[in-house]
Amino acid sequence: MAEYRNEGKVFVITDCGSTTTKAILVEKMNGVYRQTFRGEAPTTVEAPVEDVTVGVKNALADLSALSGRLLIDDDNNIVRPAVGKDGCDMYISTSSAGGGLQMVVLGVVKNISASSALKAALGAGAIVTDCIACDDERDTLEQVERLRKLRPDMVLLAGGTEGGQVEGVVELAELLALAEPKPRFGNKFQLPVVYAGNSSVADEVARILEKSAEVIVEKNVRPTVEEETLSFARDKIHELFLAHVMKQAPGFSKLIALCDAKVMPTPSAVGKMLQLLGRKKSMNVVCVDIGGATTDVFSVVNGQFHRTVSANLGMSYSAAFVLKESGIPYIKRWIGTDISDGELLNQLLNKTIRPTTIPQTSVELAVEHALAREALRLSFAQHTAFAVGLKGGVGERNIDGGFSGGRVDEMNVGDLDWIIGSGGVLSHAPDDMQTVGMLMDSFLPVGITIIAKDSIFMMPHLGVLSEIDEDAAVEVFFNDCIIPLCVSVVPVGKWTDKKKCLSYRVEQSDGTVASGTLSWGDVVHVRNVSDGTLEVIPDSRVNVGAGMGKKVSHAFSGMKQGIVLDARGRPLSAYGNFRFDTVLKKGTR
């Protein structure tokens, strides 16, 4: 056996989730940083342990056992630095344990200052439990009662452009003072209130709230109607979360002391990683994490980062809410087997009251995947509505990437280079093509897009690693984090049933060639094509990204499921039989 040689820094990274603490080991091997081992243990922030570092050290012990690398010594300390096969050079972590960062947002106008404040809070990794505005149709008593019931970690208050609105801002400050919400983790400190509104009212806001809250003044998130400045409030929220909130949670002060860099909220770390990819690789990317209760959608498109949390759209605890929002017919349309409305309703309601059950039959799996499609579709619709730019402003969104004519109230899916799915239903589907179908049916990409999955949701780890070593984070992301599933090719244009819309040619890296045609209404899967160059020649009235009738070439590598050409049209429901599984045709083997 060759002697072990340390080629670079050895990183140990944990993500302390609500239920599980996941630890990974990152080492440099053959000149490239790789994720080599992974361990986990239950998170320990509740009785009887109530110390998050116990779960961390248990996860590191599991990582030690799997890797053979001593990470915890006899005194229960992390072994540093890395020497030979033992120890690590840095230990860093993210966390959403204890429910993560929970915030309330207040803004004068729902579609202007409140919208901008909401973006800043979500971008900082917060779970926003309510967004209160002067024009949100609730009366004052209802707003006060709502604030009293909530126990946020922090409040973000915004309103008024610079030199603009005063009365509404004062009204919101008085509302907050009247409600006097208590912080979630005890009463040993005043509730932090970040004020990011009209600076001329800052002193008055501080005076009104001086007895009930600690007011921290930051730059206005909406200095003019046409301008947003979110980064200052976002950074301040993160700073306060570490300095005030996280230290109140069980064992978090010990975790902060244990780490060699600042602990990051899990969603904030994911956003950091996506923004790094957007900057370094010029990627437009959407990432979705679908869970039992919520679905998070992150996007970096043309340099703009957005995050939304669909708090009631999930696969188990929120199944009944997805049913309510979508309806039986919309869920049933995705199921490729006969099932009555009553049976479907029973399965969905059983999933709600028994959220930890997993499908046992093919019919139950079909229902699960149909539910996922609707949860993902609704979540992405919320995200695109949120990410269109300035609400209430006069700015326009530029549409490029070869597609035009999209509505300004939608994100242009023709801009997307990658769609990445994570969460149990996507990462652990029995067949990768089921994952592809769920993502393509819910996100409806057009043009050429890479469909991928994050099999173990490693992006939080890589986001905090990027603060230390950006190149290492990018290397691990492409080598170990994501699994590229397929190149998605979706034409748009004049739809004529069964008429040819394009021809394609694939030259693989080994020199072999696969070619064929695609007709409207069909989905063709070109399999066993991992690396090579794809050339698409559309009909004169068809566009695949470069314009009507214009040829597109695309180099690709590492595709586990080859290429999927989807000519079902947009929207799907306009063209009869549109289900992915029933129109899918197998191409080259």
Q: Lay out the sheet containing 563-566: strands in order across.
A: 304-310, 295-301, 285-290, 418-422, 447-454, 482-490, 563-566, 523-526, 584-586
Q: Please give the radius of gyration of the chain, using alpha carbons only, rounded to the nearest integer.
A: 25
Q: What's the N-to-C CA distance of the chain in angstroms?
A: 39
Structural domains of the chain, ranges and CATH numbers in brackets = 11-97 (3.30.420.40), 100-254 (3.40.50.280), 267-312+371-392+400-490 (3.30.420), 493-589 (no CATH)
pTM listed for this prediction? 0.83
Q: What is the DSSP letter of 575?
A: G
Kindly give the confidence (pLDDT) of every residue in the chain, 589 residues in length, as a single tens digit, with 9 standing for 90 and above. Answer: 334 455 679 999 999 987 889 999 999 998 999 999 999 999 998 888 889 999 999 999 999 999 999 999 999 899 999 998 999 999 999 987 766 688 999 999 998 999 999 989 988 878 888 999 999 889 999 999 999 999 898 999 999 999 888 999 999 999 999 999 988 876 667 899 999 999 999 999 999 999 889 999 999 999 998 899 998 998 899 888 777 666 667 888 899 899 999 898 888 899 899 999 999 999 999 999 998 888 889 999 988 888 888 878 889 888 998 999 999 999 999 997 778 999 999 999 998 888 878 889 999 999 999 999 999 999 999 888 877 655 554 433 332 334 543 333 345 788 899 999 998 899 989 999 999 999 999 999 999 999 999 878 899 999 999 999 999 999 999 999 999 999 999 999 999 989 999 999 999 988 899 999 999 999 999 998 999 999 999 999 999 999 999 999 999 999 999 999 999 998 886 666 788 888 888 776 4
CB atoms within 10 A of CB 472: 21
| 40, 20 Cβ separation under 8 angstroms | yes
| Separation between Cα atoms, residue 212 and residue 235, nearest integer Å | 23
| Separation between Cα atoms, residue 197 and residue 217, nearest integer Å | 9
Burial group, residue 8, by CB count within 10 angstroms (0-12, 13-18, 19+): middle
* Token code pair at residue 92: 């860093």
| 23, 12 Cβ separation under 8 angstroms | yes
For residue 337, which of 316, 315, 319, 364 has the smallest C-alpha distance?
364
For 337-361, letters b (16+ CB in 10 Å) and e give eebeeeebeebbeebbeeeeeebee
Q: Which amino acid is at 21?
A: T
Q: What is the DSSP letter of 481?
A: I
> Under DSSP, is residue 372 helix (H, G, I), strand (E, B) or coil?
helix
Please report the DSSP string for 152-196 in residue order. Answer: -SEEEEE---TT---HHHHHHHHHHHHH-PPPSS-SSSPEEEEE-
Residue 482's beta-bridge partner residues? 454
